[in-house]
Amino acid sequence: QSALTQPPSASGSPGQSVTISCAGTSSDVGAYDYVSWYQQHPGKAPKLIIYEVNQRPSGVPDRFSGSKSGDTASLTVSGLQAEDEAAYYCCSYAGRNSFVFGTGTKVAVL
Amino acid sequence: QLQLQESGPGLVKPSETLSLTCTVSGDSISSVNTVTHYWAWIRQPPGKGLEWVGSFYYGGSTYYNSSLKSRVTISVDASEKQFYLRLDSVTAADTAVYFCAGSDGVEFDFWGPGTLVTVSS
């Protein structure tokens, strides 16, 4: 199980949008609609912000959206706010009750 | 809403065994051995990304990361609403913050705050 590939960093000004990619394979991202995304602030536990590719848990702002095309999933944060500065991780179900996380992307709000 | 809390030694010597406990609380669950949820351990080396360690499902089924499979065991004490992680023959590479997590779907909905385990003599 190799980690899913994410860009190490991304940035945007307040109010702008940023999109983070999550590249997997036909055995994980491409095979299942079970991609989730987590936001992690320094020293804190990850927080689920997207599940099943594009579903938002209750309480997560609609500024966060997810999508998938082939073996690559994406997270878009629209209307960037200062509190969105954090690390973001994708995760995919990889079959046989296993999971694989992405390498992580640090988002900076300029 | 469920709350999870990890506990265990913060320092383990090389070649020894790492043992952690996750305690689950919340009115919506009476036992961790339930069809409605499954449980997992996830770790994060300092400054690095997240790594799924393994999961426990209702009825005692366990699944582990293939890179750790020979050294890891996840078990449950349903009556105490706790589940456990055991990692044998640890090395410095096992130094990480260990999170326990719970799920009612195919994602990790609930997380503990994490506990740092350092492997050092």
CA-nearest of A52, A95, A51 to B63 is: A95
Q: What does pLDDT average to over chain B? A: 92
Say what the pLDDT of residue A49 is. Answer: 98
The answer to whether the CB atoms of A99 and B52 lie below 8 A apart is yes
Mean per-residue pLDDT, A31-38: 98
In whole angstroms, give the CA distance from residue A17 to residue B93: 37
* Banded pLDDT at B28 (limits 50, 70, 90): low
In whole angstroms, give the CA distance from residue B82 to residue B73: 14
Mean per-residue pLDDT, B105-119: 96
- For residue B75, CA distances in Å to A29, A36, A41, A46, B41 come to 29, 25, 30, 23, 11
Q: What does pLDDT average to over chain A? A: 97
Say what the pLDDT of residue B88 is. Answer: 98
The answer to whether the CB atoms of A38 and B108 lie below 8 A apart is yes
Residues of B with CB under 8 A from a CB of A: 40, 42, 49-52, 55, 57, 61, 63, 65-67, 99, 105-109, 111-114
Return the SS3 of B94.
helix
* Banded pLDDT at B112 (limits 50, 70, 90): very high
Name the A residues in 59-88 with CB < 8 Å from any B CB.
none
What single string gives the DSSP state of each residue in B31-92?
A: -SS-TT-EEEEEEE-TTS--EEEEEE-GGG-EEE-TTTTTTEEEEEEGGGTEEEEEE-S--G
